Structure formats: structure tokens, C-alpha cells
Amino acid sequence: MINLDLQGRRALVTGGSGGLGRAIAETLAAAGAQVAVHYRKGLDEAETAVAAIQKQGGKAQAFQADVADPAAVEKLLQAVEGAFGGLDILVNNAGMDGQRASVGEDDPQAWEKILAVDLMGPYYCARAAIPRMEKAKRGVIINITSVHEFIPWEGYSAYTSAKAGLSMFT
């Protein structure tokens, strides 16, 4: 086990209200970071994650935004910066895989939405975070990809394409 000391650090975990994102948020908080738990629609889940972190003595707050919207991302970063005084760690975890469908039987708008969340979202978040991190002269960005950036997943071409793109972006 690695002994992480993140006292005084401020982290934003996109998609931090459930699953892997929640586990990441809880781990960062346990290491001492203040954690911004991002959610798009699940306020109840985000508040549950925040309460779990606080119960363990950590500091967390929920923040809502659609990461596929660059203006919403900028407002998100402003809100996190206002609440925590800055941002040191960005974990781009928010994602969606969509409905299983073969190309030609799929919905192009659904394909675009998956790319918007899984690929453009991390780009927008990184683009908003980097100037803040440069000004502070510190920061780290972690992009969560998938084994499906390398291993095809039949019926999920948008997801696999987005994760492969995110890997190259990283």
C-alpha cells in the first residue's frame, strides 16, 4: 500500500458520485485532499458520497455540471476554485458507454453524446484546469480510460473510440 499524503491539496473528481469515481474521491479524501465530487444528474448519489467522505473525517462538497458543455465546465472550475481556493488534482472520470448497437443500427446523436462526455469532457476540464495549475505552479491531471481503448467491445464503438482518443490525448 502506498502512503499518500495529500494534506492541503484540492481535488476534483468528475463522475465522483458513484462507482470508480466515488472510490477515487474517497481515496483522495482519506489521503487528506479536499474533494469536489462532481455529478451531472445524481444529486442524491453525490450527497451520499460527500456524506461518506465526511463521516470518515474528510472534506468534500458536491458540484453539478455537464462536462460536455465547455461553459458549464468553466463554471464548475470557478465554483471549485471559489470553494476550495484552487485546484491541484483533476481526475477526469465521468463517462458513459451508451446503448449497445452496431454501426448502422446506432443513433448518430447518441454516438456524439458519448464522444462529448468521454472525450471532449476531459479535454474541456483539462483546458480549464491547466491555466489554474500553471498559475499555482503545481497540479496533476489523471484521465481514466478503459481496457476498451485497446480491446474492441462489440456494439460500443463510440465508447471504445472515445477511450482510445482519451488515451492519445493523455
Collect all residues with Cβ–Cβ distance below 8 Å to 45 and sequence separation of at least 6.
Answer: 17, 18, 22, 39
Distance CA 37, CA 35 (A): 6
Distance CA 50, CA 64 (A): 13
Question: Which among 63, 65, 64, 169 has a CA at the least distance from the CA of 120?
Answer: 169
Helix (H) or strand (E) holding 162: helix 157-169
Distance CA 132, CA 77 (A): 9
- Looking at residue 147, what DSSP letter applies? G
Catalytic site includes residue 123: no
> Residue 92 — φ and ψ, nearest 5°?
-85, 95
Catalytic residue among 39, 123, 124, 159: 159
Catalytic residues: 159
